[in-house]
Amino acid sequence: MATFLFDKIIFGPVKSRRLGVSLGINLLPVNVKVCSFDCIYCECGWTPKKYEEKAKLPSRKEVRQKLEKKLKQMVADRELPDVITFAGNGEPTLHHEFAGIIEDTIELRDQFSPNARIAVLSNATMLHKPAVFEALLKIEDNIQKLDSAFESTIKIMDCPRGNFNLEKVVDQLTRFGKKVIIQTMFIKGSFKGQKIDNTTEKEIAAWLELLKKIKPSQVMIYTIARDTPVETLKKAPAQSLNLIAKKVEEAGFEVQISY
Ligand code: SF4
Protein backbone atom coordinates (compact mmCIF):
# COMPACT_ATOMS: atom_id res chain seq x y z
CA MET A 1 0.00 0.00 0.00
CA ALA A 2 1.04 3.63 -0.41
CA THR A 3 3.10 4.37 2.67
CA PHE A 4 5.38 7.42 2.56
CA LEU A 5 8.56 9.01 3.93
CA PHE A 6 9.01 12.63 4.97
CA ASP A 7 11.41 14.26 2.51
CA LYS A 8 12.57 17.07 4.79
CA ILE A 9 14.15 17.62 8.21
CA ILE A 10 11.61 20.32 9.06
CA PHE A 11 8.14 19.70 7.65
CA GLY A 12 4.76 21.36 7.79
CA PRO A 13 3.16 22.98 9.62
CA VAL A 14 0.43 20.36 9.34
CA LYS A 15 -2.90 20.10 11.11
CA SER A 16 -2.34 17.13 13.37
CA ARG A 17 -5.31 14.98 14.47
CA ARG A 18 -3.96 14.89 17.98
CA LEU A 19 -1.80 17.96 18.49
CA GLY A 20 -3.16 20.96 16.57
CA VAL A 21 -1.05 23.04 14.15
CA SER A 22 2.20 21.12 14.25
CA LEU A 23 5.62 22.01 12.89
CA GLY A 24 7.37 18.67 12.39
CA ILE A 25 11.01 17.75 12.94
CA ASN A 26 12.31 14.58 11.32
CA LEU A 27 15.60 13.54 12.94
CA LEU A 28 15.85 10.49 10.69
CA PRO A 29 17.16 10.31 7.13
CA VAL A 30 14.90 11.78 4.44
CA ASN A 31 15.32 8.72 2.20
CA VAL A 32 14.99 5.75 4.54
CA LYS A 33 13.12 4.81 7.70
CA VAL A 34 15.21 4.11 10.82
CA CYS A 35 13.40 2.61 13.77
CA SER A 36 13.78 0.15 16.64
CA PHE A 37 10.27 -1.12 15.86
CA ASP A 38 8.72 -2.35 12.64
CA CYS A 39 5.05 -1.74 13.39
CA ILE A 40 2.70 -3.47 10.98
CA TYR A 41 0.61 -0.29 10.85
CA CYS A 42 3.49 2.18 10.29
CA GLU A 43 2.57 4.79 7.71
CA CYS A 44 6.28 5.08 6.78
CA GLY A 45 6.26 1.45 5.58
CA TRP A 46 8.55 -1.38 6.67
CA THR A 47 11.81 -0.76 8.52
CA PRO A 48 14.71 -1.93 6.30
CA LYS A 49 16.47 -5.05 7.60
CA LYS A 50 19.86 -3.38 7.12
CA TYR A 51 20.78 0.28 6.98
CA GLU A 52 23.19 1.32 4.31
CA GLU A 53 25.30 4.44 4.08
CA LYS A 54 22.27 6.32 2.77
CA ALA A 55 20.89 6.20 6.33
CA LYS A 56 22.57 9.51 7.18
CA LEU A 57 21.03 11.34 10.08
CA PRO A 58 21.01 15.16 10.07
CA SER A 59 23.52 16.77 12.43
CA ARG A 60 22.48 18.82 15.46
CA LYS A 61 23.85 21.93 13.73
CA GLU A 62 21.83 21.28 10.58
CA VAL A 63 18.60 20.73 12.55
CA ARG A 64 19.17 23.93 14.53
CA GLN A 65 19.85 26.02 11.43
CA LYS A 66 16.81 24.69 9.57
CA LEU A 67 14.50 25.08 12.56
CA GLU A 68 15.68 28.64 13.20
CA LYS A 69 15.11 29.58 9.55
CA LYS A 70 11.61 28.06 9.54
CA LEU A 71 10.58 29.69 12.83
CA LYS A 72 11.83 33.09 11.61
CA GLN A 73 9.73 32.67 8.48
CA MET A 74 6.69 31.65 10.55
CA VAL A 75 7.12 34.72 12.75
CA ALA A 76 7.24 36.92 9.62
CA ASP A 77 4.11 35.18 8.25
CA ARG A 78 2.36 35.43 11.65
CA GLU A 79 1.68 31.73 11.48
CA LEU A 80 3.09 30.29 14.70
CA PRO A 81 2.65 26.58 15.50
CA ASP A 82 0.70 25.18 18.46
CA VAL A 83 3.36 22.55 18.80
CA ILE A 84 6.81 21.60 17.51
CA THR A 85 6.69 17.84 17.06
CA PHE A 86 9.51 15.34 16.76
CA ALA A 87 8.15 12.61 14.51
CA GLY A 88 9.10 11.63 10.95
CA ASN A 89 10.78 8.62 9.40
CA GLY A 90 11.24 6.47 12.48
CA GLU A 91 12.21 6.78 16.14
CA PRO A 92 13.58 10.27 17.02
CA THR A 93 15.31 9.21 20.24
CA LEU A 94 17.67 6.98 18.22
CA HIS A 95 19.48 10.15 17.11
CA HIS A 96 22.81 10.27 18.99
CA GLU A 97 22.46 14.04 19.54
CA PHE A 98 18.81 13.87 20.63
CA ALA A 99 19.38 15.55 24.02
CA GLY A 100 21.32 18.46 22.48
CA ILE A 101 18.72 18.91 19.76
CA ILE A 102 16.00 19.12 22.42
CA GLU A 103 18.06 21.81 24.21
CA ASP A 104 18.37 23.81 20.97
CA THR A 105 14.65 23.41 20.23
CA ILE A 106 13.68 24.71 23.67
CA GLU A 107 15.98 27.71 23.17
CA LEU A 108 14.59 28.51 19.70
CA ARG A 109 10.99 27.95 20.80
CA ASP A 110 11.48 30.35 23.73
CA GLN A 111 12.95 32.93 21.37
CA PHE A 112 10.52 32.73 18.43
CA SER A 113 7.32 30.98 19.47
CA PRO A 114 7.14 30.89 23.27
CA ASN A 115 3.58 29.58 23.39
CA ALA A 116 4.33 26.50 21.30
CA ARG A 117 4.56 23.18 23.11
CA ILE A 118 7.32 20.73 22.23
CA ALA A 119 6.18 17.15 21.58
CA VAL A 120 8.09 13.94 20.99
CA LEU A 121 6.34 10.90 19.53
CA SER A 122 8.40 7.94 20.68
CA ASN A 123 8.17 4.17 20.95
CA ALA A 124 9.75 4.11 24.45
CA THR A 125 12.65 1.84 23.45
CA MET A 126 15.47 4.29 24.30
CA LEU A 127 14.31 5.33 27.78
CA HIS A 128 17.14 3.35 29.37
CA LYS A 129 19.52 6.03 28.05
CA PRO A 130 19.82 8.68 30.80
CA ALA A 131 20.35 11.55 28.31
CA VAL A 132 17.18 10.62 26.39
CA PHE A 133 15.16 10.23 29.59
CA GLU A 134 16.34 13.58 31.00
CA ALA A 135 15.68 15.38 27.70
CA LEU A 136 12.12 14.03 27.57
CA LEU A 137 11.49 15.42 31.06
CA LYS A 138 12.18 18.93 29.71
CA ILE A 139 9.45 19.00 27.07
CA GLU A 140 5.70 19.53 27.39
CA ASP A 141 4.31 16.53 25.49
CA ASN A 142 6.35 13.41 26.12
CA ILE A 143 4.24 10.94 24.12
CA GLN A 144 5.25 7.28 24.50
CA LYS A 145 3.86 4.23 22.78
CA LEU A 146 2.30 1.34 24.69
CA ASP A 147 0.18 -0.76 22.34
CA SER A 148 -0.58 -3.61 24.72
CA ALA A 149 0.09 -4.99 28.19
CA PHE A 150 1.07 -8.29 26.59
CA GLU A 151 4.55 -8.70 25.18
CA SER A 152 3.17 -11.29 22.75
CA THR A 153 0.77 -8.70 21.26
CA ILE A 154 3.53 -6.06 21.05
CA LYS A 155 5.73 -8.57 19.25
CA ILE A 156 3.04 -9.06 16.59
CA MET A 157 1.92 -5.41 16.29
CA ASP A 158 5.22 -3.56 16.73
CA CYS A 159 7.79 -6.22 15.74
CA PRO A 160 10.58 -4.83 18.02
CA ARG A 161 14.10 -5.05 16.63
CA GLY A 162 16.49 -6.69 19.10
CA ASN A 163 15.68 -7.34 22.73
CA PHE A 164 12.41 -5.98 24.04
CA ASN A 165 11.35 -6.31 27.65
CA LEU A 166 7.92 -4.89 28.39
CA GLU A 167 8.42 -4.96 32.15
CA LYS A 168 11.53 -2.77 31.85
CA VAL A 169 9.75 -0.35 29.50
CA VAL A 170 6.85 -0.02 31.94
CA ASP A 171 9.28 0.64 34.81
CA GLN A 172 10.92 3.38 32.76
CA LEU A 173 7.56 4.93 31.88
CA THR A 174 6.62 4.87 35.58
CA ARG A 175 9.83 6.78 36.41
CA PHE A 176 8.51 9.81 34.51
CA GLY A 177 6.24 10.45 37.50
CA LYS A 178 3.22 11.53 35.45
CA LYS A 179 5.30 13.59 32.99
CA VAL A 180 4.29 11.25 30.21
CA ILE A 181 1.42 10.80 27.78
CA ILE A 182 0.68 7.24 26.68
CA GLN A 183 -0.30 6.67 23.04
CA THR A 184 -1.95 3.42 22.04
CA MET A 185 -2.87 2.31 18.53
CA PHE A 186 -5.93 0.05 18.38
CA ILE A 187 -6.34 -2.25 15.40
CA LYS A 188 -8.04 -5.41 14.29
CA GLY A 189 -7.21 -7.84 11.50
CA SER A 190 -4.54 -10.42 10.88
CA PHE A 191 -0.87 -10.69 9.99
CA LYS A 192 0.95 -13.82 8.77
CA GLY A 193 -2.04 -15.95 9.75
CA GLN A 194 -2.21 -14.56 13.30
CA LYS A 195 -5.33 -12.75 14.47
CA ILE A 196 -4.76 -9.26 15.86
CA ASP A 197 -7.21 -7.43 18.08
CA ASN A 198 -5.95 -5.31 20.97
CA THR A 199 -9.47 -4.03 21.74
CA THR A 200 -10.63 -7.23 23.49
CA GLU A 201 -11.76 -7.18 27.14
CA LYS A 202 -8.65 -9.13 28.17
CA GLU A 203 -6.35 -6.69 26.37
CA ILE A 204 -8.06 -3.60 27.77
CA ALA A 205 -8.23 -4.88 31.36
CA ALA A 206 -4.49 -5.63 31.42
CA TRP A 207 -3.61 -2.36 29.64
CA LEU A 208 -5.66 -0.36 32.18
CA GLU A 209 -3.71 -2.00 35.00
CA LEU A 210 -0.46 -0.79 33.41
CA LEU A 211 -1.89 2.71 33.02
CA LYS A 212 -2.70 2.73 36.75
CA LYS A 213 0.93 1.87 37.43
CA ILE A 214 2.39 4.43 35.00
CA LYS A 215 -0.07 7.22 35.94
CA PRO A 216 0.21 9.22 32.69
CA SER A 217 -1.05 12.81 32.48
CA GLN A 218 -3.10 11.82 29.43
CA VAL A 219 -3.87 8.79 27.28
CA MET A 220 -4.13 9.13 23.49
CA ILE A 221 -6.06 6.36 21.78
CA TYR A 222 -6.21 6.18 18.02
CA THR A 223 -6.53 3.90 15.07
CA ILE A 224 -5.26 3.63 11.52
CA ALA A 225 -5.77 6.82 9.53
CA ARG A 226 -3.61 6.21 6.45
CA ASP A 227 -2.26 3.32 4.39
CA THR A 228 -0.30 0.66 6.25
CA PRO A 229 2.27 -1.86 4.99
CA VAL A 230 -0.08 -4.76 5.88
CA GLU A 231 -3.32 -4.83 3.92
CA THR A 232 -5.14 -7.19 6.26
CA LEU A 233 -5.50 -4.60 9.04
CA LYS A 234 -8.71 -2.81 9.88
CA LYS A 235 -9.49 0.32 11.84
CA ALA A 236 -10.78 -0.23 15.35
CA PRO A 237 -14.45 0.79 15.15
CA ALA A 238 -15.45 4.14 16.70
CA GLN A 239 -17.74 2.25 19.08
CA SER A 240 -14.77 0.25 20.47
CA LEU A 241 -12.65 3.39 20.85
CA ASN A 242 -15.50 5.14 22.68
CA LEU A 243 -15.87 2.21 25.05
CA ILE A 244 -12.12 2.10 25.73
CA ALA A 245 -12.09 5.89 26.31
CA LYS A 246 -14.91 5.55 28.84
CA LYS A 247 -12.93 2.93 30.77
CA VAL A 248 -9.82 5.13 30.72
CA GLU A 249 -11.85 8.03 32.13
CA GLU A 250 -13.41 5.81 34.78
CA ALA A 251 -9.88 4.84 35.80
CA GLY A 252 -9.23 8.55 36.40
CA PHE A 253 -7.22 9.56 33.31
CA GLU A 254 -7.73 12.28 30.75
CA VAL A 255 -8.23 10.73 27.34
CA GLN A 256 -8.04 11.93 23.75
CA ILE A 257 -9.49 9.87 20.88
CA SER A 258 -8.54 10.10 17.18
CA TYR A 259 -10.87 8.04 15.01
S1 SF4 B 1 7.51 3.09 16.25
FE2 SF4 B 1 6.54 4.60 14.94
S3 SF4 B 1 8.04 4.97 13.29
FE4 SF4 B 1 8.65 3.07 14.33
S5 SF4 B 1 7.70 1.46 13.14
FE6 SF4 B 1 6.28 1.97 14.79
S7 SF4 B 1 4.87 3.51 13.95
FE8 SF4 B 1 6.67 3.37 12.57
Give the pLDDT of residue 51: 66
Q: What are phi and psi of 192, to 5 degrees?
A: 50, 45
pLDDT of residue 54: 61
State yes or no: pLDDT of 70 exceeds 60.
yes
Exposure string (b/e) for 32-51, b if CB count within 10 Å is 16 or more? bbbbbbbbbbbbbbebeeee
User: pLDDT at position 138, please?
Assistant: 98
In this structure, the strands spanning 233-235 and 187-191 are antiparallel
35 close to ligand 1 (CB < 6 Angstrom): yes
Of all protein residues, whose CA lies closest to atom 6 belonging to ligand 1?
39
pLDDT at res. 135: 98
pLDDT tens track for 175-208:
999 899 999 999 999 999 999 999 999 999 999 9
Of 17, 16, 48, residue with least CA distance to 229 = 48
Long-range CB contact pairs, 46-52, < 8 A, 24+: 46/229, 47/90, 47/161
What band does 62 get if pLDDT is binned at 50, 70 and 90? very high
pLDDT value of residue 3: 77
**Angstrom distance (rounded) from CA 108 to CA 137:** 18
Tell me the CB-side half-sphere exposure of residue 169, using CA atoms within 13 A.
Answer: 22
Ligand 1 mutation target, pool 6, 41, 42, most atoms within 8 A of CB: 42
Ligand 1 atom with the smallest distance to the CA of 47 is 5
Contact 67, 25 (CB under 8 A): yes
Report pLDDT for 117: 97
Ligand 1, atom 8: closest residue by C-alpha = 42
Ligand 1 pocket check: which of 40, 43, 44, 148 to mutate, most ligand atoms within 8 Å of Cβ? 44
Assign residue 211 a region (left: φ > 0; alpha: ψ between -120 and 50; beta: otherwise).
Answer: alpha
Cis status, amide bond into 81, omega within 30 of 0? no
Give pLDDT tens digits for 73-123. 999 999 999 999 999 999 999 999 999 999 999 999 999 999 999 999 999
How much is the mean pLDDT over the chain?
95
- Ligand 1 centroid to 89 CA: how many Å? 8
Taking phi over 0 as left and psi of -120 to 50 as alpha, with beta for the rest, 137 belongs to alpha
pLDDT band at 18 (very low <50, low <70, confident <90, very high): confident
Is residue 42 within 6 Å of ligand 1 at its C-beta?
Answer: yes
**Per-residue pLDDT tens digits for 22-55:** 999 999 999 899 999 999 999 999 998 876 656 7
Q: Given this model, what pLDDT does residue 66 score?
A: 97
- The mean pLDDT value for 121-132 works out to 98
